[in-house]
Amino acid sequence: MRVIVAAAGTGGHINPGIAIANKIKEKEPGSEIIFIGTNRGLENDLVPRAGYKLKTINAYGFDRSISLDNIKKIYKTFRSIKEAKKIIEEFKPDVILGTGGYICVPVGLAAKKKNVPVVLHESNAFPGIAIKLLSKKADKILLGFEDAKARLPKAKKIVVTGTPTKVKKINISKEKKQEILNENRLNDQKPIVLFFGGSQGAQSINNSLIEIIVNKKNENYQIMWAAGPAQYEEIKNNLKEKHNLEIDKIPNVKIMPYIYNMEEMMNIVDLVVCRSGAMTITEIANVGKPAIFIPFPFATENHQEYNARVLEKVGSAKIILDKNLTSNVLNDEIQNMVKDREKLNKMGENAHKVSIKDVEEKIYNEIKVEI
């Protein structure tokens, strides 16, 4: 199979593309796969690191506002159709896979000009502009969430496959769990709440957490907090200079720049507090954990709130809008949830019911049909 994957910008677009490419290589080792992106996004790191060749075109994301800068970006993006067309002519793919984001528009349009099948994958519950623009032209659209289906009325064919992620539900032995707890100066006597805001952290969540910690509001629960590499040192200095707290000696609290063993960590905690990107929602459903979502308020078309509503609707999550977030609001919600372990477990079970099994296999089969 010869495949071009169009994926650019953020890990939320690129990582599903890599996961699908890996599945294709697993099923058909002789497959040739390349990626098309730009020379600016995370694809320049993630794609080569995954072992795939990256070709770039001069495409840009744009919004609906009228400005000279936006007009220039639209012009450049539509001019990049020619660049994409040239790559397609040279590579001669059997199929084009687009995993969302602006890069899909020029690549998808170029593919249709060359009569190459186009399969799109949309991770979010509220489809992005690129997927909407191409929905009528794409041969098939694969969705992460059932809720997105009604928002693509012009699509030829839609299949709900789920979104590929690395984080799954796993069995962790008591010994292993205790080892992880010991490493992080935590215990199994109080509920553990996991906080994170994406790879770079989330300022509003971080600010609320500092107040909770400084005022010792978390006496009934423990905090496992990935603050983000860019903000960790600032938080460390803030706690030391303003509150005389050593970051590694705060009772019931473990703060780190980044969690590398997220699958293990998510499987041992009792509650998750985080943003609500599509990958995060999928991982929480896979593991089966209750959550408090604080959607990123500036996400395109507010898609993070739509994602969060998917789990809220099945009774597995609470939502606090960023504009309403304070340390008191957050702490009160956490306290109300962790005091009832039985209810927490039920919420986790509800989350797991939304999880879709064998995602990569389903996607591979759907792509294979189009060739």
Same domain, 317 and 179: yes
Domain tally for the chain? 2
Same domain, 149 and 224: no
Mean of pLDDT values over 192-217: 88
* Residue 109 forms part of a structural domain: yes
In DSSP notation, 217-257 reads TTTTSEEEEE--HHHHHHHHHHHHHHH---TTS-TTEEEES
Same domain, 262 and 327: yes
- Note the pLDDT tens digit of each residue in 135-188: 999 999 999 999 999 999 999 999 999 999 989 999 999 999 999 999 999 999
* Number of Cβ atoms within 10 Å of the Cβ of 198: 18
* Residue 169 forms part of a structural domain: no
* Residue 16 forms part of a structural domain: yes
- Could you tell me which residues come within 8 angstroms of residue 105 by beta carbon, excluding any fewer than 6 positions away? 59, 77, 130, 133, 134
* Residue 68 forms part of a structural domain: yes
Same domain, 129 and 183: no
Same domain, 365 and 325: no
- Note the pLDDT tens digit of each residue in 48-85: 999 999 999 998 876 666 777 777 877 788 899 999 99
Mean of pLDDT values over 205-232: 93
Structure tokens at 263: 């699958």
Same domain, 200 and 308: yes
> What is the C-alpha separation between 221 and 193, in angstroms, rounded?
7
* Residue 223 forms part of a structural domain: yes
Q: Structural domain of residue 74, as residue ranges? A: 2-162+357-370
Same domain, 99 and 210: no
Same domain, 249 and 342: yes
SS3 273: strand
The answer, yes or no, to whether residue 199 has pLDDT greater than 60, is no
Q: Give the pTM.
A: 0.89
Same domain, 127 and 245: no
Mean of pLDDT values over 324-342: 96
pLDDT at residue number 287:
98
Same domain, 222 and 155: no
Same domain, 140 and 178: no
pLDDT at residue number 74:
77
Whether the CB-CB separation of 104 and 132 falls below 8 Å is answered with: no
Same domain, 111 and 222: no
* Residue 330 forms part of a structural domain: yes
* 188: CATH: 3.40.50.2000
